Amino acid sequence: MGFPGTWMTESESVVYRVVPKCACSTIGQIMFYSDHGRFFDGDIHDATEGMHKWSRADSQPVIEANVRAHRSYAFTCVRNPYTRILSSFFDKICGIQRNGKRYRGNLVPLLTQRYGVQVGTPEANFEDFDQITSFRRFLLFARDTIRWKKPMEPDIHWSAMSGHISTFIVNGGRYDSIFFTERFDEGMQKVLDAIEVRHPVNLKTIPRFNESEGHGPKRAHPVEAYFDDLSMHLMFEIYKRDFQLFRYDFENPANKMPKGEVDLDEVHAKLGE
pLDDT digit string (tens) for 98-140? 788 889 888 999 999 999 999 877 777 777 789 999 999 999 9
**Is residue 223 scored above 90 in pLDDT?**
yes
pLDDT of residue 188: 98
| Confidence (pTM) | 0.95
pLDDT, average across residues 56-68: 98
> What percent of the chain lies above the pLDDT cut of 90?
86
Would you call 272 exposed, middle or buried from its count of C-beta atoms within 10 A (0-12, 13-18, 19+)? middle
b/e burial code for range 180-190 (CB count within 10 A of at least 16 → b): bbbebeebbee
**Is residue 192 scored above 70 in pLDDT?**
yes
3-state secondary structure of 195: coil
At 231, which helix (H) or strand (E)?
Answer: helix 229-245
Residue 181 near residue 18, CB atoms below 8 Å: no
For the stretch 2-16, pLDDT in tens is: 999 999 999 999 999
**Is residue 226 scored above 80 in pLDDT?**
yes
**Is residue 213 scored above 70 in pLDDT?**
no
How does residue 232 score in pLDDT terms, banded at 50, 70 and 90? Answer: very high
Instruction: Evaluate the CA torsion angle 207, 209, 210, 213 in order and state its sign.
Output: positive
pLDDT of residue 214: 59
**Is residue 191 scored above 70 in pLDDT?**
yes
pLDDT, average across residues 145-160: 95
